[in-house]
Structure 1
Amino acid sequence: MIDTVLHYLVPTLLVLGTVVFMEWFAAWSHEHIMHGWGWGWHKSHHEPHDEGLEENDLYAVVFGVFAISLFWVGASFWPVWWIAVGISIYGVLYFFFHDGLVHQRWPFKYLPRKGYLKRVYQAHRLHHAVEGRDGCVSFGFVYAEPVDSLVKKLQDNKRGFDQNALKEDDQRSAAE
């Protein structure tokens, strides 16, 4: 009985723990790498463009190669395989929330009107409300601080931000 429980519990905890860790790591790397020494690739994400792909997508390739490598190692050491599953699940969540919901890189448009999805959407819009790499807020992709807290952080920021961004979103949402 205990062997059966552990057989399912340990992989489940490895996957869930990895997904939670990845949100922390993604937020940390977004703030300290992508908005730091890695700005060369990430800058394309903060500038208007018409192309379907952007240089910033290279970060997804790097994380994908890392996950694939862990699957390869995990073929010999099973805990690493479950960690690779967790990273892959996080990649799907990132694609859904960031590329799809926030940046509308899907073939259809959806603007959340309330609840958690609206908060994630607005938090990332506030991330983009500052020009350039300095002074941004909300670096996570799945977790989003309350919008009021982020607005206060932006207001405390000397560079300020475009306060009309959230109003435009609310007006578009009401019109639909």
Structure 2
Amino acid sequence: MDIVFYIFTIIATFFFMEFMAWFTHKYIMHGIMWYFHKDHHQHEPGFFEKNDVFFLIFAVPSWLCIMLGLMNSNYYSVCIGAGIALYGFCYFLMHDVFIHQRFKWFRNTNNTYMLALRRAHKIHHKHLGKEHGEVFGMLIVPLKYFKNSRNSIPKRSASK
């Protein structure tokens, strides 16, 4: 029965991290830590950004939960760390790889969710300053971006 609770803990932590990402992005990155996030909105030359420091801010608690959980046989702590790490991996794939193309892996898609995610993130980046931001989450996309994204999917012809 413990395995069910472990899996539930990982999944619950993963979804809780979407709220944490939204909150941190809206109130911390666009607030007191704008110095680090600014170069993400006002791109500067180079592969790395000061904004990449936020990777460490989220990775350290994940690592600590896993390490300390394993050292103390506290597998719920390990699961929390794993949920944070899983969210971080998905965030990396969606944000850095798919949206910003820091790695040229997923360039073309007709997937409605992916197109809506990209469109919502573009709306977020239309504001170069820390004020007046929109769409601070990452994986949960407001419905209005799905409607617009469906219209941008090329229609397939009946004949091949």
Q: CA RMSD in A?
A: 2.0
Percent identical: 28
TM score, norm. by length of structure 1: 0.78
Q: Does 1:8 align with 2:3?
A: yes
How many residues are aligned here?
149
Give the secondary structure class of the aligned counterpart of 2:61: helix
Deviations 1:62-84 (A, max 9, x none): 21122111112211121100000
Q: 1:130 Cα deviation (Å)?
A: 1.5
Q: Is the 8 A contact 1:42 1:56 kept in 2?
A: yes
Give the secondary structure class of the aligned counterpart of 1:48: coil
Q: Does 1:112 align with 2:109?
A: yes
Instruction: Return closer, same or farther for 1:148/1:115 CA change in 2, 3 Å cut-off.
Output: closer
Matched with 2:126 is 129
Q: Does 1:39 align with 2:34?
A: yes
Instruction: Return closer, same or farther for 1:112/1:132 CA change in 2, 3 Å cut-off.
Output: farther
Match of 1:21 among 13, 16, 21: 16
Matched with 2:94 is 97
Q: Is the 8 A contact 2:116 2:145 kept in 1?
A: no
Q: 1:136 Cα deviation (Å)?
A: 1.1
Q: Which runs of 4+ in 1 moved over 3 A?
A: 111-114
The CA distance in 2 between the partners of 1:127 and 1:36, in whole Å, is: 15
**Match for 2:127: what amino acid?**
V
Match of 2:55 among 60, 72, 81: 60
Which segments of 5 or more consecutive residues in structure 2 lack a partner in the other structure? 155-160
The CA distance in 2 between the partners of 1:148 and 1:86, in whole Å, is: 27
Give the secondary structure class of the aligned counterpart of 1:112: coil
Q: Is the 8 A contact 1:26 1:140 kept in 2?
A: yes
Larger RCO of the pair (alpha carbons < 8 Å, separation 6+): 2
